[in-house]
């Protein structure tokens, strides 16, 4: 049997016999010729039945009639999976890839029901209900090929730098950051919590002597938000590294990873992104602008918007305004907001020696939306315990975590970044529902 060929590889092949398999996307059933658009995981191709003359048989003057139509093709429904053997022909007049296949045999492997529940104009909830059908769309296929390329580029950089990949547990005996937004689950005779982040375990790797580490894995937040950028389960990109001098070292690594990821995506998928999403992906120059939070709020205020609370984080409109300013002034989609007040940062963020009210931390804003928080961590046990008390926490409840710091801990820092949010902004999509394989929110647990 002829080996199956991916549609994306047809253009590079010479004319001749070929075998393809895929889903029927469209059928045009004309009087003397039938066309089928077939799509597999790599692309689409036009199949043709009829419209060509047979070689005449001298003994049968009727032998040069057109190849007949077949009821098999006429009855193909959208989504039916077929295997086709035929003759590959290069034809520059064919808009779909410049090739077509003259059908010799067609095998219906699995037939699709005639009424497809997902249409081109279906809303996002209908499409999520039938996600496996929605994911057949070229745009959705591209989203996850982009995701693969982006993560591969990040992993390549980490591995080249000697970082170690870890997988941390998602069932925890206590909260990793705070008891807010926690999912509590039954655990034999007791209770457990779904991890909000791998924060504590990332830091444990520093005490273990791993140096640089990274993880790409699920995180859970019991957040009742229905915004376009929130989910109850999401994929978190995390990294931590030892022997840093300040959070500036973390920001430099963060920049390198972002640039490596976007460069790889642009090189591999740039033309498709332009064609399917109308996105001209820009790779930012380094270094990204760095603006202290207090200064950023003043810039936003000068643009006519005041963040409601002076002692709070930048709100969504503030993020959009500072992003617009940075785009105008620096021509980039990225900006680090730095020097966050200790009152709005976790107890484990290191404080500034010159102004203990500020932390050595940052948020990374991409196209007007926060995608990441990073910081230098406090590695001195006595300071860490004091900062926990300042937050109203009892150090005895942080027992296993604080033990990491009692037997020698290097200076260290890192960040966590939401993968689905990065993809949403990269591809200029309206919601992370479009860039999450199977979205989970307050009212969605299926499929």
pLDDT in tens, 132-156: 999 999 999 999 999 999 999 999 9
Tens digit of each residue's pLDDT (9 = 90 or more) over 74-122? 999 999 999 999 999 999 999 898 999 999 999 999 999 999 999 888 9
pTM of the model: 0.92
Is 179's pLDDT higher than 70?
Answer: no
pLDDT at res. 66: 47
Q: Please tell me the distance from the alpha carbon of residue 431 to that of residue 195, in angstroms, as a whole number.
A: 24
Cα separation, 446 vs 158, in Å, equals 34
Average pLDDT of 2-9?
93
Annotated binding site: 177, 221, 370, 373, 377, 418-421
Torsion sign (Cα): 21, 26, 29, 34: negative
Closest CA to 253 of 423, 376, 408: 376
Cβ contact 2:85 at 8 Å? yes
Contact call for residues 322 and 296 (beta carbons, < 8 A): yes
pLDDT at 362 over 60: yes
Range name among 20-34, 67-81, 353-367 with the lowest pLDDT average: 67-81
Q: For the chain, what is the mean pLDDT? A: 93
Decide if pLDDT at 167 tops 60.
yes
Q: How much is the pLDDT for 427?
A: 98
* CA 249/CA 24 separation, integer angstroms: 52
Q: Using 50, 70 and 90 to split pLDDT, how confident is the model at 281? A: very high
Which segments are annotated as binding site for ATP?
A: 370, 418-421
| Three-class DSSP category at 68 | coil
Binding residues for L-aspartate are 177, 221, 373, 377
The answer to whether residue 303 scores a pLDDT higher than 80 is yes
Write out the two tokens for 409: 């801990």
- Indicate the CATH number of 7-110 among 1.10.10.10, 3.30.43.10, 2.60.40.10, 2.40.50.140: 2.40.50.140
Q: Which residue has the higher pLDDT, 121 or 129?
A: 129
Region(s) of the chain under CATH 2.40.50.140: 7-110
Residue 284 predicted with pLDDT over 70:
yes
pLDDT band at 2 (very low <50, low <70, confident <90, very high): confident
Q: What angle, rounded to 10 degrees, do the helices at 419-426 and 138-160 form?
A: 120
* Residue 157 or residue 72, greater confidence: 157
Instruction: Give the pLDDT band of residue 296 (cuts 50, 70, 90).
Output: very high
Identify which of 131, 121, 170, 214 has the alpha carbon closest to the alpha carbon of residue 440: 131
C-alpha to C-alpha distances, 53 to 56, 70, 72, nearest whole angstrom: 8, 16, 20
Taking 70 as the threshold, does the pLDDT of residue 253 lie above it? yes
Protein fold of 129-434: BirA Bifunctional Protein; domain 2 (3.30.930)
Note the pLDDT of residue 119: 87
């Amino acid at each position: 049997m002829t080996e199956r060929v991916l549609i994306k590889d047809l253009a590079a092949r010479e004319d001749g016999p070929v075998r393809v398999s895929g889903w029927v996307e469209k059928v045009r059933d004309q009087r003397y010729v039938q066309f089928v658009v077939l799509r597999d995981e790599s692309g689409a191709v036009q199949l043709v039945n009829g419209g060509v003359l047979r070689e005449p048989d001298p003994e049968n003057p009727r032998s040069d009639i057109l190849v007949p139509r077949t009821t098999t093709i006429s009855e193909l429904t959208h989504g039916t999976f077929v295997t086709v053997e035929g003759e590959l022909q290069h034809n520059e007049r064919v808009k779909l890839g410049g090739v077509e296949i003259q059908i010799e045999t067609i095998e219906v492997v699995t037939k699709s029901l005639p009424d497809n529940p997902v249409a081109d104009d279906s809303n996002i909830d209908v499409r999520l209900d039938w996600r496996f059908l929605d994911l057949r769309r070229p745009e959705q296929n591209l989203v996850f090929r982009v995701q693969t390329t982006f993560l591969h580029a990040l992993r390549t950089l980490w591995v080249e730098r000697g970082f170690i990949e870890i997988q941390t547990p998602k069932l925890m005996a206590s909260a990793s950051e705070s008891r807010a937004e926690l999912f509590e689950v039954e655990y034999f005779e007791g209770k457990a919590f779904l991890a909000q982040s791998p924060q504590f375990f990332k830091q444990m790797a520093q005490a273990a002597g791993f140096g640089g580490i990274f993880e790409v894995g699920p995180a859970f937040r019991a957040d009742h938000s229905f915004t376009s950028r929130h989910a109850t389960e999401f994929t978190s990109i995390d990294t931590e590294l030892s022997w840093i001098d300040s959070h500036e070292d973390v920001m430099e690594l963060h920049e390198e990873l972002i640039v490596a990821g976007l460069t790889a995506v642009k090189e591999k998928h740039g033309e498709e992104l332009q064609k399917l999403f109308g996105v001209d992906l820009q790779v930012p120059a380094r270094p990204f602008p760095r603006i202290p939070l207090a200064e950023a709020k003043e810039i936003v205020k000068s643009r006519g918007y005041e963040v409601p609370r002076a002692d709070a984080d930048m709100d969504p409109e503030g993020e959009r305004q500072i992003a617009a300013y940075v785009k105008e002034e620096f021509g980039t989609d990225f900006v680090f907001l730095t020097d966050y007040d200790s009152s709005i940062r976790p107890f484990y963020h290191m404080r500034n020696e010159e102004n203990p009210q500020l932390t050595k931390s940052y948020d990374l804003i991409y196209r007007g939306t926060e995608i990441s928080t990073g910081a230098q961590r406090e590695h001195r046990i006595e300071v860490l315990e004091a900062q926990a008390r300042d937050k109203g926490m009892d150090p005895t409840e942080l027992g296993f975590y604080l033990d990491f710091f009692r037997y020698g801990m290097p200076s260290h820092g890192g960040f966590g970044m939401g993968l689905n949010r990065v993809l949403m902004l990269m591809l200029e999509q309206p919601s992370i529902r479009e860039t999450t394989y199977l979205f989970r929110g307050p009212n969605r647990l299926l499929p």
